Amino acid sequence: MLMYTLRRFLHMLPVFFGATLLVYFLVFATGDPIAALSGGKPMSEAVEANLRAQYNLDQPFWVQYGLYLKNLLTLDLGQTFSGQAVNDVVARAMPVTARLAVMALAIEAVFGIIFGVFAGLRKGKLFDSTVLVLSLVVISVPTFVLGFVLQYVVGVELRWTTPTVGSEAGWSDLILPAIVLGLVSLAYVIRLSRTQVAENLSADYVRTATAKGLSRPRVIIVHVLRNSMIPVVTFLGADLGMLMGGAIVTEGVFNVPGIGSVLLDAIKIGETPTVVAVVSVMVLIFVVANLIVDLLYALLDPRIRYA
Amino acid sequence: MRMNRVLQSVAVTSALALTLTACGGGEGGGENEATSGVVTAHNTEPQNGLIPSDTSEVGGGRVVEQIFQGLYSYAADSSLQEELAESVESEDNQTWTIKIKEGHTFSDGSEVTAHSFVDAWNYAADSDNAQKGSYFFEGFAGYSESDENGADELSGLTVVDDYTFTVELQQPESDFPLRLGYSAYMPLPEVAFEDMEAFGQAPVSNGPYVLAEDGWQHETQISLVPNEDYEGPREPANDGILFKIYDSYDSAYNDLLSDNLDVLDEMPPSALENYESDLEGRSVSQPYAGNATMVIPGYNENFQGEAGQLRRQAISMAFDRQQIIDQIFMGTKEVATEFTAPVLNGFSAEIPGNEVLEYNPEKAKELWDQANEISPWPEGEVLLYTSNTDGAGNKEYIEAITNQLRENLGIQAELDAKATFKEMRELANTDALPGISRAGWVGDYPSLYNFLGPLYGTGASSNDGRYSNPDFDAKLDEGLQAASVEEAATIFNEAQEILFEDLPVLPLWYQAKQAGWSTQVDNVELGWDGKVLYHQITKG
């Protein structure tokens, strides 16, 4: 297990550096942010040159990337154009997004497994077909459309909640955005657990258990569910990383002051340091979440460790 | 045993989740938005610290204008209203003596003196400080004396006594006082110069409002409270302004519909068609000092000489401005009749030569063919129209124009799309525009000159097309030396006649601003620049 953990950990490094290099290159290649900084109003060359120097934009690409990596390793993410430390920005926005992602995860886990298991147990029946069709609809509608529709119906028409999240972004404010954020994965969890349950119901060991004279609830809970949940738990773990990324759209729609909003703002004005810093943090979370999932999986299924 | 492992994994996942959440436990806070009398208004996150001379975009500009008091401010009709100015006088339009009112203070108790202005202006002009508004001091004597562009101290600024200072300009400027309401000319307290970066996050100021304690919560809100010590024409009629920061106009619009936001000063494109019926008398659409143009660079060989001139006229007449406004912008703009904006004093819609702005496809085709006889359009060359496509409606209107050019002139014309504004600016700044380019101007101060000098003067800072005509420059100089603002306006309009002959850019339309408000507030009015006059809004 130790060797496996170490090996998996080493896999993280190229992924992390590769991803940040790619992002840095893309942001770098989309043009000079200083050119747009004054919104088309003139700027004297001396002022422009000074601004460029301030953000190392006058250096060649590799020097910039090197400086950025150096700062990253000393946990200094640089400064935004408005003069705040990117560390502070991330520290302020990250908890909000984490709260949102965890809520979305909880919603998709609870409802996804419940609906999925019941659908699996009643495979081919009306409930199953309805759930399947509905989940297909959810998967095929883009998140921002879903977000705007729910925002309008629940916030403007019904007035059950405010259309956007207030500055505090507390747990109760985040319910609607969390539902929107979790909805697509919810559909996947339903489909995944349904298939697993339906498959395991006809497995040999379930027949054996039934033949031994165990009661149906016992067979289902102890034998079917236990085995069906392994891939579902794996999916949920990996999804935590995905949710961080998906939060960009949802946060934009519901005006949640999280990391997605920060990233959107930074992209809009071409604020290279913030974009790269935030994306690096997201990549890191994604990579760590995946590492944990892989380790869990290996824990659950020993065969993986030797593969 | 097996079950335990599943439980284990669930436990680990939830533990991870809890740890992530726990990081943010104590976050939150902020004023209660429902506090009666505090107006909530839409804003975007300021791109810079709240330093007047470093704020060049609207997100920060809205706030800076509320929290600082300069020499003048602009009334809704663009006329100057006195704030700190006792008098601004000159005998030759070149050396100006400025007297300020005594006994005004910043929110830290320090007095506003002549030094507060002179130090702030010197700081803004010095290129070492990289202030985005430094170009507002280009015309001051001493600006270009050392340090490439922007001396450490402007030789043109002299403190006479605590309440008097003089400004010497490089050349006469008859409309100089009109400039002084702009935020780049606001005074700064002494404490600002100790640590400008920290100051930008929590400025000490002297406007009708001041920033509340911890008022700027980045990406979330900016809270302003009335300044008890303020004396001036913009006395707040409400208990404060809470700027809520949004990423998307659509969500702000939904907040407005449900009274969760009081003032929204820009409608999302999706709401343009029905905002008036949605809001039932709680909206306004009003032209402001801004226009849209298309630049035809002087360095493009196809548009030089006599053939070039004919081509410019042909293009101008080959598309229907009104039709594009109606179909793409839902009628929310106004067809341009000259190069400035109708809200300015001295504006005239009757400038000789402006018939080139009228839609006339037959004449256009005729002119284009004439141009080809003099010097043929290169075989197979496509006329490119460069624009960023990240702004609402840009792509749609340019495709409509290029369609009409193709149809009416029989040429190949296409949108040359750039994903971001900065990419387009880079092309313009490096003289690399391949054809036509989208452009526009929003006035910094309400003067015709501000729409002409910086854009079409030889070597001027925003002259993207590199236009140069000595006759035009001479007219501008003449206008700047005029004895009065009215006389200057007449001369500037004569200068526009030259522009109509040369067509360095083709005027398209004047911009209008749409704003809406909630059922909770009254007295919402827009200024000459399309900005909401926040101080006069009443609530509750």
Mutate to test the interface with B, among A27, A50, A51 (most CBs of B within 10 A): A50
* C-alpha to C-alpha distance for B214 and B218, rounded to whole angstroms: 10
Please state which of the ranges A74-88, A224-238, B31-45, B317-331 shows the lowest mean pLDDT: B31-45
pLDDT at B23 over 50: no
Q: What is the pLDDT of residues A111-166, one digit of tens each?
A: 999 999 999 999 889 999 999 999 999 999 988 899 999 999 999 999 888 899 87
pLDDT at A82 over 70: yes
Q: Say yes or no for a CB contact (<8 Å) between B254 and A41.
A: no
Any idea what DSSP says for residue B129? Answer: G
A82/B128 CB distance under 8 A: no
Size of interface A-B (CB pairs under 8 A): 220
Query: What are the CB-based long-range contacts (under 8 Å, 24+) for A22-27?
Result: A23/A275, A23/A276, A23/A279, A23/A280, A23/A283, A24/A64, A24/A65, A24/A68, A24/A276, A25/A61, A27/A270, A27/A272, A27/A275, A27/A276
Q: Which of A84, A27, A53 is nearest to A267 (CA)?
A: A27
Q: What is the pTM of this model?
A: 0.85
Residue B502: count other Cβ atoms within 10 Å of its Cβ.
19
| Rg of chain A, C-alpha, whole Å | 24
Predicted confidence (pLDDT) per residue in A261-274, tens digit: 888 888 877 787 78
Cβ neighbour number for residue B67 with a 10 Å cutoff: 26
Which residue in chain B has the smallest CA separation from A222? B3
ipTM: 0.84
More confident residue, B6 or A119: A119
> Which residues is B363 bridged to in the sheet?
none
Chain A touched by B6 (CB under 8 Å): yes
Give, as one character, the DSSP assignment of residue B53.
G
> Shortest CB distance from A162 goes to which of B258, B426, B429?
B258
Give Cα B537 distance to the centre of its chain.
22
C-beta atoms surrounding B413 within 10 Å: 23
The 10s digit of each residue's pLDDT in B214-270 is 999 988 999 999 999 999 999 999 999 999 999 889 999 999 999 999 999 999 988
A243-256 tens-digit pLDDT: 877 788 899 899 99
Q: A84 in contact with B at a CB cutoff of 8 Å? A: yes
pLDDT higher than 70, residue B32 = no
Q: How confident is the model at residue B11 (pLDDT cuts 50, 70, 90)?
A: very low
Give the residue, A169 or A205, on which the prediction is more confident.
A205
Which helix or strand (DSSP H or E) is residue B514 part of?
Answer: strand B505-517
Averaged confidence pLDDT in chain B: 90
Q: Is A132 exposed, middle or buried (0-12, 13-18, 19+ CB in 10 A)?
A: middle
Asked if B6 lies within 8 A of A230 by C-beta distance, the reply is yes
Sheet holding B164-168, edge to edge: B85-90, B95-100, B164-168, B157-161
A159-164: long-range contacts, CB 8 A cutoff, minimum separation 24: A159/B258, A162/B255, A162/B258, A162/B260, A163/A254, A163/B251, A163/B254, A163/B255, A163/B257, A163/B258, A163/B260, A164/A254, A164/A255, A164/B246, A164/B251, A164/B252, A164/B254, A164/B255, A164/B260
CB-based contact, B426 to chain A, within 8 Å = yes
Q: Which residues pair with B82 in a beta bridge?
A: B72
Q: Of A36, A96, A265, which is closest to B421 when you measure between CB atoms?
A: A36
What's the pLDDT tens digit per position in B273-313?
Answer: 899 999 999 999 999 999 999 999 999 999 999 999 999 99
**Least Cα separation, residue A126 to chain B (angstroms):** 31
pLDDT tens, position by position, B47-79: 889 999 999 888 999 999 999 999 999 999 889
In this predicted structure, the answer to whether residue A172 has a pLDDT above a threshold of 60 is yes
What the block records as the tokens of B503 is 């067509």
CA B171/CA B94 separation, integer angstroms: 6
Residues of A in Cβ contact (< 8 Å) with B8: 299
pLDDT (tens digit per residue) in B151-194: 678 999 999 999 999 999 999 999 999 999 999 999 999 999 99
- Say yes or no for a CB contact (<8 Å) between A50 and B148: no
**Alpha-carbon span A155 to A204, nearest angstrom:** 51
- A82 and B46 within 8 Å at the Cβ level: the answer is yes
Look at residue B521 in the predicted model and tell me its pLDDT.
96
Helix (H, G, I), strand (E, B) or coil at B157: strand
CA distance B447 to chain A (A): 16
Q: How far is A137 from chain B (nearest CA, A)?
A: 24
B50 Cβ neighbours under 8 A, 6+ residues apart: B60, B63, B64, B67, B200, B201, B203, B211, B216
Query: Closest residue of B to A300, CA-based?
Result: B5
Q: Which of A234-243, B2-11, B66-75, B501-510 has the lowest mean pLDDT?
A: B2-11
Tokens 């380790």 sit at which residue?
A295
The reply to whether residue B254 touches residue A152, judged by beta carbons under 8 angstroms, is: yes
Q: Which 107-146 residues of chain A touch chain B by CB within 8 A?
A: none
How many residues would you count in chain B? 540
Pairwise CB contact (< 8 Å): A261 & B9: no
CA atoms within 13 A on the CB side of A182: 27
